[in-house]
Amino acid sequence: MKVAIVGGGAVGVTAAYDLAERGAEVVLYEKGEIAGGSTGRAAGVLYDAFAAPEDARVGDRAIERFREFSGEGDFEFRETPYVWFAREGDEKRGRAIREQVPRMQDAGRDVSLTDPAELRERFPAVNWDDVGVAAVAENTGCTIPATYADLLAAKASDAGAELRTGVEARVDAEDTRVETDAATESFDAILVAAGAHTKRLLAEAGIPVPLKPYRVQALTAGFDADRREALPMAYDATAGYYLRPHPDGLLAGDGTEEVESDPDDWERDADRDFCEVTRERLGHRLGEFGATREAWAGLCVATPDRDPLLGRLREGLFVAAGWQGHGFMRAPALAEAAAECVVGENPLPEFDPTRFEGDEEFDIVEGMAVE
């Protein structure tokens, strides 16, 4: 079987590896460099704390595979608990957390409700004084996303996949052919995993899909190494920002813009207002910390129901996109499922991309939002 993959992010390179391991002849097209898009700008927060059964299965498998790959090349899965909380007085999100945790437990997730006293004892580097309702997930970690993509690209190449970087690909509107500036090549199947560019690429092939890229922001800052050892990953659901330990000290982000972005023309640098507000939040939550090291923006992709599009669009054409900010953390499992779809299986029918007409109107909602 000859398969083309369009997109060299975490999902694309993992699918290339999985398909090559199954004996497929794989050609991956990436118009830039591996992990040069959303993957390289992702936060690297990895958790399986999902309540919906299908999401919990995906999260569990993703963490399992991250652990399997950890230690190869430069990739490391760093064990780090994940805490999410609502502040005192935020009854809506506090109630949502209380309702989510039992559902997550029913789905087999290692999560539990906790309280400020327990959080202070376990994670003394963080100020928990204003926390009303909180939960902690244990089967979690963090990493540098580009190291994962580089590893899986190397593994895919070793397994026989051909990775063509710096090559922009277009999908034929009627056939399973891929066109580039240099040539046109026929395949048995094509998997489009092009992130924010997926909507336009498929539109050119005559297939509308309801995807909206949107901009998110993050920064890194210095943080004392000893205190960093006691730093969990944390998400303040009331304020809508997250933080995590990072080799530079710490990483924090939010800055979700609830408007559609142009996947080719968008601001790559973080906004000054975002940096100022984020540093204020970190000061409140962590006390002293160091100077900002880097600040950037990336693109996530939304769908009408906040679930991805994964599966067959027409004979020989498949899509894997619309991760709502959860793409990298679930990439090992989502890519595996995409590869299985290509070879005739359908492990995640809940994410069938044909459930939409493609012209749906919908609002962009932050992927991590607790509602």
Q: Each residue of 140-161: pLDDT tens digit?
A: 999 999 999 999 999 999 999 9
Predicted local confidence at residue 371, as pLDDT: 75
| Cα three-residue angle 57-59-62, rounded to 5 degrees | 105
Is the Cβ–Cβ distance between 339 and 359 less than 8 Å? no
How far CA 185 is from CA of 179, 205, 208, 307, in Å, comes to 7, 15, 23, 32
d(CA 308, CA 164): 26
Measured N-to-C along each axis, helices 145-158 and 10-21 cross at an angle, to the nearest 10 degrees, of: 30
Reported as a single tens digit per residue, the pLDDT across 164-190 is 999 999 999 999 999 999 999 999 999
Is the Cβ–Cβ distance between 85 and 235 less than 8 Å? yes
Q: What is the number of alpha carbons within 13 Å of residue 192 lying toward its C-beta?
A: 32
Predicted local confidence at residue 121, as pLDDT: 97
Predicted local confidence at residue 255, as pLDDT: 73
Predicted local confidence at residue 209, as pLDDT: 98
d(CA 213, CA 140): 27
- The amino acid sitting at 128 is W
**DSSP H/E element including 2:** strand 2-6
The pTM assigned to this predicted structure is 0.97
Going from the N-terminus, what domains does the chain have, and what CATH number goes with each?
2-45+145-210+304-355 (3.50.50.60)
Reported as a single tens digit per residue, the pLDDT across 188-217 is 999 999 999 999 999 999 999 999 999 999
